[in-house]
Amino acid sequence: MNIKVKHLLNRLPGRFAARGTRFARDLGGASFMFFAVTAVPVVGTIGLSTDAAIGTMVRYRLAEALDAAGLAAGTTSNADIAAADFQAFFQANFPDGYMGSTLIGPTLTTSPDGRTLTMNVSATVPSTFMRILGVDDYAVSARSVITRQRSGMELSLVMDNTGSMRSGDKIGAMRTAAQSLVDILYGDESQIDRFWISVVPYTSMVNIGTANSLWVDSTDLTGYTPTAWAGCVEARGYPLDTTADTYNHAPMVDILGNTVPYTWQPALYPNDVDNYWHHIDYDFSQASERDDWDEFGQPILIAHLNDALGYPHGNTRPIVDGQPLHFEVMIEEWIRQELGLAPTDSLPNNGNLYKGVARVVLGYTAEESIPGSSTLHDLLQDWVSPHDYGTWPTKKQGRIDLVLTAYFRRAYEGLTDSQDWTAPLVRAENHWENDGTGPNLGCGPAITPLTDQRATIEAAIAEMLPWHRGGTASNLGLSWGWRALSPDWRGLWAVSDSALPHDYDEPLLEKVVIILTDGVNQVYDHDGGGPLGSDYTGFGRVGEGRVREDGFGVPLTASAGAKTELDRRMLETCTAMKSAGMRIYTITFQVDDTDTRDLFRDCATDVDHYFNSPSNGDLQGTFTQIATELSNLRIAE
């Protein structure tokens, strides 16, 4: 009987009924009845098991395809792109007609806040053995939920705001790219739990914000009035310029025996030939005012005369025949040049230097007659008095000094009507570029400390502009990017949550820095004739030798040597940050200098965290890639 039963099973189900008659004839009635009762459950069980296995395979493949499609859709906040990616990835992972199935779906539903993606799909699978029992097909389904999950993060955007960013609207491209990063990370939300951003603009110095004046040794602005400190600080002495140490420590003593305070000094650009802005009230009856003129007024006037007459740039009188040229001789030479007179020609009005100066200042040509002395005296006094220079000088030379200074300052300001001119000469607006003046020259926007408010971050990004003069100090920008995230600074920032920043080892929280530059670390000299070899920077002027080789070695008084040392210090800062567990993304933006590109590559967490963006469009792609990497997705169920 067993052999025949096996034979029956091999021929089922197609001929079950026909063979039943034959078995009834060959077997006894009782045996047949026994088989009839047991064969159907056995066959049904085998069929059910086989079809169930097929269904399990289809269901598993559906779930895999849903997960892949959901992860793809979750990388963008654009609903149309998400839907297209979802369909494309599902189809790629679930072949059409797999195991003979017919799909119903898949469907993608996004929660109102855009954070949760719910996916459903089902399929009809044709049965094989279960057809014997009248079951032609059966349904299987899968469901997946993907949550856009961002692990806790403190992110510092350290952005180059130097003057070279104006070229080709690189500053605009950087703002757009940084905004796209915010769009990706925030999606449609204005605030995200456990997610904070700080914006750290830098030039040759960094602006900590006037609200944090407690960190500064002194904000005494004597001699800088009527303007006020804008918030930029100079670099501290090495090694404190490379660390995240706070301001509230006792001073340290370096290996040279120098006392290095933990506080900062306010960065205030001195009044000098490359930044003429100082206010002087001239009362030549007072000896102190005469000294003030000798210290500030005459050297600056000499610098202008040198430029006008083609002598070497600077605030000292040119050497002619081995001797400094007399100030009065320079004035006579300038008058002749302005009036188109030959060196041998006599000055107007019998060579009267005072009247010659007045003639040029008031716009008289050599051929025009001018009023008599008393009237000329009144004209000049009227011309000068709006500038509030104080008592009108009684001596001729004093009047010459005063009138010439007023004239040059007015010409330097670019105004033609003396009534429009006001002292001191401060041009703090960004559009002045290299011609800006004032104690805050080269000082960019202030740091925005950690905040979870999208609107605050977007405002800080929009505020970034190219600020000229001084050069680039990416090393200082990076140090302040670190301080913005260092737990040592918790509660110290004037306008930030007192619980921020968090500890380095805070569970499920990453500290990330993105630093961008379009140039090399440098102590810049915008016209090649700045005092002591450079503009004034966060490290002073290069000729002061405040940057030393290897931190404590010989003073580096040339820009090339200073660059090498600033690069070394930046790499020292990078190494310390990475040792603290911070992730660093570095970006060189249209940078050809191979040393700088190597520096930024070495500074990054690894080579995959370094980007060189040779165009504005490439920069957009770089920020998009970084933002996508920072968006960490996980499957919720």
Contact call for residues 491 and 502 (beta carbons, < 8 A): no
Give the pair of three-digit tokens for residue 386. Answer: 């709006």
Contact call for residues 125 and 53 (beta carbons, < 8 A): no
Q: Picking from 224-228, 326-330, 425-429, which range would have the lowest pLDDT averaged per residue?
A: 224-228
Residue 281's pLDDT is: 55
Residue 15 has pLDDT above 90, yes or no: no
| Cα(196)–Cα(185) distance, integer angstroms | 11
Query: Average pLDDT in the 202-221 region?
Result: 90
Contact call for residues 142 and 175 (beta carbons, < 8 A): no
pLDDT digits (tens, 9 = 90+) for 241-300: 999 999 998 899 989 999 999 999 999 998 887 887 765 555 555 555 666 666 666 777
> Which phi-psi region, left, alpha or beta, contains residue 550 (left: φ > 0; alpha: ψ -120 to 50)?
left
Residue 355 has pLDDT above 80, yes or no: no
Residue 371's pLDDT is: 65
Query: Average pLDDT in the 32-50 region?
Result: 55
Query: Average pLDDT in the 407-415 region?
Result: 60
Q: What is the 3-state secondary structure (H, E, C) of 262-294?
A: CCECECCCCCECCECCCCCCCCCCCHHHHHHHH
| Cα(344)–Cα(185) distance, integer angstroms | 74
Of the pLDDT bands very low, low, confident and very high (cuts 50, 70, 90), residue 2 is very low
Residue 207's pLDDT is: 98
- Phi, psi for residue 588 in degrees, rounded to 5: -100, 125
Residue 577's pLDDT is: 98
Residue 29 has pLDDT above 60, yes or no: no
| Cα(184)–Cα(27) distance, integer angstroms | 78
Question: Which residue(s) pair with 324 in the sheet?
Answer: 319
Of the pLDDT bands very low, low, confident and very high (cuts 50, 70, 90), residue 618 is very high
pLDDT digits (tens, 9 = 90+) for 587-612: 999 999 999 999 999 999 999 999 99
Residue 396's pLDDT is: 67
Of the pLDDT bands very low, low, confident and very high (cuts 50, 70, 90), residue 585 is very high
Query: Average pLDDT in the 54-69 region?
Result: 90
Give the pair of three-digit tokens for residue 536. Answer: 């004034």
Of the pLDDT bands very low, low, confident and very high (cuts 50, 70, 90), residue 136 is confident
Q: How many residues are given for the chain?
A: 637
Contact call for residues 298 and 401 (beta carbons, < 8 A): yes
Residue 147's pLDDT is: 78
Contact call for residues 458 and 490 (beta carbons, < 8 A): no
Query: Average pLDDT in the 177-188 region?
Result: 94
Contact call for residues 120 and 107 (beta carbons, < 8 A): yes
| Cα(260)–Cα(255) distance, integer angstroms | 11
Nearest to 292, CA basis, from 226, 191, 223:
223
Burial label, 98 (beta-carbon count in 10 A; 0-12, 13-18, 19+): middle
Q: Which of 64-68, 110-114, 348-352, 371-375 has the highest mean pLDDT?
A: 64-68
| Cα(262)–Cα(276) distance, integer angstroms | 31
| Cα(154)–Cα(511) distance, integer angstroms | 5
Three-state secondary structure call for residue 300: helix
| Cα(572)–Cα(563) distance, integer angstroms | 14
Reported as type and span, the H/E element at residue 513 is: strand 509-517
Q: How far is CA 230 from CA 201, 266, 431, 523, in A?
A: 14, 9, 17, 21
Question: Which residue(s) pair with 260 in the sheet?
Answer: 252
Contact call for residues 380 and 362 (beta carbons, < 8 A): yes
Contact call for residues 524 and 166 (beta carbons, < 8 A): no
Note every long-range contact of 361-368, with CB atoms under 8 Å and residues 24 or more positions apart, other chains counting. 361/403, 361/404, 361/406, 361/407, 365/339, 366/339, 366/340, 366/341
Residue 391's pLDDT is: 63
Give the pair of three-digit tokens for residue 67. Answer: 């997960």
| Cα(165)–Cα(518) distance, integer angstroms | 7
Of the pLDDT bands very low, low, confident and very high (cuts 50, 70, 90), residue 50 is confident
Residue 143's pLDDT is: 93
Q: Helices 559-579 & 474-483, crossing angle to 10 degrees?
A: 20
CA dihedral (9, 11, 16, 18) positive or negative: negative
| Helix (H), strand (E) counts: the chain | 17, 18
Of the pLDDT bands very low, low, confident and very high (cuts 50, 70, 90), residue 167 is very high
Residue 34's pLDDT is: 46
Give the pair of three-digit tokens for residue 43. Answer: 């066959």
| Cα(286)–Cα(292) distance, integer angstroms | 10
Question: Which residue(s) pair with 319 in the sheet?
Answer: 324
Residue 522's pLDDT is: 93
Of the pLDDT bands very low, low, confident and very high (cuts 50, 70, 90), residue 9 is very low
Mean confidence (pLDDT) of the chain = 83
Residue 132's pLDDT is: 74
Residue 635 has pLDDT above 50, yes or no: no
| Cα(405)–Cα(414) distance, integer angstroms | 14
Question: b/e per residue, 528-558, with b = 16+ CB within 10 A?
Answer: ebbbebbbbbbbbbbbbbbbbeebeeeebbe
Residue 161's pLDDT is: 98
Give the pair of three-digit tokens for residue 620. Answer: 């957009």
| Cα(463)–Cα(444) distance, integer angstroms | 9
| Cα(222)–Cα(580) distance, integer angstroms | 41
Residue 149 has pLDDT above 90, yes or no: no
Residue 81's pLDDT is: 84
- Please tell me which residue, 553 or 71, carries the higher pLDDT value: 553
- What letter would DSSP give residue 150? P
- Please tell me which residue, 378 or 430, carries the higher pLDDT value: 430
Give the pair of three-digit tokens for residue 133. Answer: 């029992």
Neighbours of 374 (CB within 10 A): 8
Residue 386 has pLDDT above 70, yes or no: no
Alpha helices (runs of H) in 187-318, residue ranges in sequence order? 287-292, 298-309
Contact call for residues 548 and 255 (beta carbons, < 8 A): no
pLDDT digits (tens, 9 = 90+) for 474-496: 999 999 999 999 999 999 999 88
Residue type at 426 in one-letter notation: V
- Please tell me which residue, 44 or 391, carries the higher pLDDT value: 391
Assessment of whether the complete model's pTM goes beyond 0.85: no
